[in-house]
Amino acid sequence: MAYLNANIPATYAQVRREYLYDLTGHVGEAEDCLIFGMASIPGRAILFHTIMENGAVFYRLPISAFIQRGFDVKEVPRMRLDELELWNSFSYYPSINTFDILLGQSGKFIGKDKKWYNGTYLFTVDWAHPESNIVDTDHSEIPHEHKCAHILALKNGNYAAQPNNRLIWNIPSFTVKDEIPYDWKTQTHDWTVEDTTKWRTEDSDRFFYGIEETKNE
């Protein structure tokens, strides 16, 4: 698991030029770039690292700084960072995965404005706590607080980072039902198979040891 910085699938994009000038000018302009990594800092948005065509590298830009190649920057709607990404990073320890079942698939997320935004899956950012010797002050492994961030290339030219409970995927050979059960509940359980007094292993050195049921007192 990475600490602070992580590689991500290389993404050819454009960066809004105002982010190259600390938001002091050049609004409505864009330059080609290659997004290659990210930083995860608790309490901050996911931050992306990009290299420019002149070789310069810009660290820690938000997802709102980027639009997709092939789009005219003047025609891509300007969306607030908190519209594109719902939650900040949960820890310094991000995990980056590209799930085969979602790769190249389309999906849609519901925004704060109650509108659906369509896009294509790129990869997923998740978070965890690294080890028991470090004090756990984040929420990454609390069942009802856990969120991941699926990175999407939106049809409108922007990128987005959205959690499971804001997304609906479209896999034509499998997702054949249209209804959304809005009464589903958030997961609150810690699932474990060893927190029990109902069984124990036998006290022996046998390779194929037995399992004994215990009497609850």
* Mean pLDDT over each residue of the chain, to the nearest integer: 92
Residue range 18-34, pLDDT digits in tens:
999 999 999 999 999 99
Band of residue 140 on the pLDDT scale cut at 50, 70, 90: low
The CA distance from 193 to 127, in Å, is 23
Max Cα–Cα distance, the chain, nearest Å: 74
Mean pLDDT of 91-105: 95
Which residues, at least 6 apart from 197, have a Cβ–Cβ distance to it below 8 Å? 214, 216
Query: What CA–CA distance (Å, rounded) separates 116 from 182?
Result: 15
pLDDT at 135: 60
Does residue 87 carry a pLDDT above 70?
Answer: yes
- Reported as a single tens digit per residue, the pLDDT across 33-54 is 999 999 999 999 999 999 999 9
The pLDDT score that the predictor gives to residue 65 is 98
State residue 143's pLDDT score.
66
The residues, any chain, with a CB within 8 Å of residue 147's CB and separated by 6 or more, are: 86, 87, 90, 163, 164, 165
CA–CA distance from 97 to each of 63, 101, 104 (Å)? 18, 12, 14
Q: Are 27 and 64 in contact (CB under 8 A)?
A: no
The residues, any chain, with a CB within 8 Å of residue 16's CB and separated by 6 or more, are 27, 29, 30, 64, 65, 66, 67, 73
